[in-house]
Amino acid sequence: MNKEEFIRRFQHIRKIKPEADFPLTEIGKPAAVLIPIIERADQLTVLFTQRAMHLKNHPGQVSFPGGKLEKSDIDLAHTALRETEEEIGLTPEKITLIGSLPKYRTVSRFEVTPFLSFVQPEFELILDRNEVDNVFEVPLLHLINKQNHFIHWVNRGQIKHPIYFITWQDKTIWGATASFVRLLSNHIDYESLD
């Protein structure tokens, strides 16, 4: 799949199957993440971060750059771009936003909007070591192939809830981040690829 094919599949009007998120009893705190897609010579890849090990919340967990909406942010797209620059030094000039996925509610009481973007492949990252230990890329086709999605079911109250896991080499993508990937897979419809 190349950039043009991805955009064609992303910009459709069919209804997308939502993924089960955490059923908040009140409105969650607004937040956003950036899903950075990089057009490499032979394939599209997706950039992930691995959170710093000393962090109180989710140390070492794989995630996308992002965070909560700040008063100084114009909107959630601005939040995703600002957090990306703060966390990994990827500036907005290197990023082209192409759309967003539906909001996803998390157990930590956030309503997260994932923004999809293309990133120019010539970039230099400067990691904020207070937040990020490292970054890595995973082929897009590996991520959106649901045969690579493993599901663990948990009971929350009387409701069964899926937790998704996606492995790549020595990395495990899980939780909300894997759910964002699952939303993208639903949207792109991997099964219909030639």
Task: Output Rg (C-alpha) for the chain, integer angstroms.
Answer: 16
pLDDT tens-digit readout, 116-137: 999 988 888 999 988 899 999 9
Instruction: Answer whether residue 159 is part of any domain.
Output: no
Instruction: Answer whether residue 86 is part of any domain.
Output: yes
Question: Given its phi and psi angles, is residue 15 left (phi above 0), alpha (psi -120 to 50 degrees) or beta?
Answer: beta
Instruction: Answer whether residue 191 is part of any domain.
Output: no
As a whole number, the mean pLDDT across the chain is 88
- pLDDT > 60? residue 194: no
- pLDDT > 90? residue 86: yes
Instruction: Answer whether residue 18 is part of any domain.
Output: yes
Tokens representing 12? 């459709």
Instruction: Answer whether residue 185 is part of any domain.
Output: no
Spatial separation of the C-alpha atoms in residues 89 and 75, rounded to whole Å: 20
The pTM assigned to this predicted structure is: 0.89
Contact assessment for residue 183 and residue 64, using Cβ atoms and an 8 Å cutoff: no
Instruction: Answer whether residue 82 is part of any domain.
Output: yes
Which range marks the domain in which residue 50 is found?
Answer: 3-141
Q: Indicate which CATH number applies to the domain containing 86.
A: 3.90.79.10
Give the mean pLDDT of 157-175: 89
Give the mean pLDDT of 92-113: 90
Give the mean pLDDT of 106-114: 88
Which of 105 and 118 is assigned the larger pLDDT?
118
Spatial separation of the C-alpha atoms in residues 24 and 131, rounded to whole Å: 27
Contact assessment for residue 114 and residue 183, using Cβ atoms and an 8 Å cutoff: yes
Nearest to 1 by CA among 35, 33, 40: 40
Instruction: Answer whether residue 104 is part of any domain.
Output: yes
Residue 65 is predicted with a pLDDT of: 96
pLDDT tens-digit readout, 37-68: 999 988 999 999 998 766 666 656 899 999 99
pLDDT tens-digit readout, 4-32: 888 888 887 666 766 767 766 778 899 99
Lowest model confidence (mean pLDDT) among 5-9, 59-63, 111-115, 173-177: 59-63
Instruction: Answer whether residue 81 is part of any domain.
Output: yes
Q: How many domains does the structure of the chain reveal?
A: 1
Residue 49 is predicted with a pLDDT of: 95
The residue with tokens 């120019």 is 120
